[in-house]
Amino acid sequence: MESVPEMKRTRFHRMNFEAEILTAPCNNSELYMIPTMRSLTAEEYVQAFKSFLDHSTEHQCMEQFINKEMPQILASLGNGKSTINVLGVGSGTGEQDLKMIKIMQAQHPGVLINNEVIEPNPQHAASYKALINKSPDLQNVSFIWHQITSTEYEQQVKEKNAPKKFDFIHMIQMLYRVDDITNTIKFFHNCLDQNGKLLIIILSGSSGWASIWKKYRHCLPLTDSGHYITSDDIKDILDGMEVEYQVYDFPSGWDITKCFIEGDTTGGHMMDFLTGTKNFMGTAPLDLKKRLQEALCQPECSHKKDGSIIFSNDMSMIVVKS
């Protein structure tokens, strides 16, 4: 009797799902291997992130917060000083930074704004600089660039033993990528000047992300840091630090309808962003793809609107006092 080849083999490694699946074609002529799942490179992340931004209301959500709450938050900065020192940690392409700077200009007319930027991704930094060149109304604003990670910045400051103090520090959607979240928050909080404020923007603990991460992060490749956190985790850290803070919650949605269209390029990029995996639809086991797509449709993750599936991307804006 002709031997039947082994049909499937799957292994797990350090809580990081690696699809090493041996299977046979329809005619059982030979075995072939499905590519292993791996996390996104920096360039691949930029492309996947764009597909997310193009179909989500994240930036509109941030803009709503900035327009509604930031004038009051920024009004007390500087305490009458002639220069306000600002630090953006993981500023990305800079859209939100410049919106806050313009509010700062309106709240503090004539005051110099020294804006320092920590952004390790060269593509994001280039986009930020291009945006500045298109913004003629940035008088009295200077920019200093640190194309390094927040951890590298922290190391440099500690080596020099001369930490610079800032009136305003913001960390927008970046704490997922640091090695030690608690110590990172403590370090930058210590960089605040008297009456300074630290703004942390992070996904809400009630968002669809929280549900997906809780159930499936052990099945996905480790990201560049491996951290899956929400505002609930940040509040626990701040409570432990015994600092004063205020939380502003804003709803946000992400149209993930294309994630369910087989072979759709944009939907593929969305799934890559959602899972942190390169070509998730082409490398993940069929059972994992099916279970994840089913989970995305559950009420704790999304709702239907006008025939579209809207993923809950709700956000929390946390303002911490010095």
Place of tokens 């300074």: 196
Residue 314, domain CATH: 3.40.50.150
Q: How far is residue 31's CA from residue 36's CA, in Å, rounded to a whole number? A: 15
Contacts (Cβ under 8 Å, ≥6 apart) of 14: 222
Is residue 243 assigned to a domain? yes
Conformation bin of residue 264: beta by default, left when phi > 0, alpha when psi is -120 to 50:
beta
Within a domain: 21: no
| pLDDT tier for residue 32 given thresholds of 50, 70 and 90 | very low
Q: What percent of the chain has pLDDT over 70?
A: 87
**Is 12 a domain residue?**
no
Looking at residue 221, its pLDDT comes to 67
In a domain, 177, yes or no: yes
Helix (H) or strand (E) holding 188: helix 181-190
Q: Quick one: pLDDT at residue 2? A: 37
The predicted-structure confidence for 244-295, as pLDDT tens digits, reads as follows 999 999 999 999 999 999 899 999 999 999 888 899 999 888 888 899 999 9
* Kind of pairing between the strands at 16-18 and 83-89: unpaired
Give SS3 for 70.
Answer: helix
Query: Does residue 296 fall inside a structural domain?
Result: yes
Q: Are 39 and 278 in contact (CB under 8 A)?
A: yes
Q: Is residue 310 part of a domain?
A: yes
Look at residue 35 in the predicted model and tell me its pLDDT. 60
Alpha-carbon distance of 199 to 192, in angstroms, equals 11
Question: Number of folded domains in the chain?
Answer: 1
Instruction: Provide the token pair at 86.
Output: 């600002």
Tens digits of residue pLDDT in 182-236 = 999 999 999 999 999 999 999 999 999 988 888 887 777 665 444 678 999 999 9
Domain that holds residue 58: 38-321
Q: What is the pLDDT of residue 136?
A: 86
Q: Read off the pTM.
A: 0.81
Weakest-pLDDT range from 15-24, 138-147, 184-193 = 15-24
Is 114 assigned a ligand-binding role in the annotation?
A: no
Confirm whether residue 195 is marked as ligand binding: no
In a domain? residue 30: no
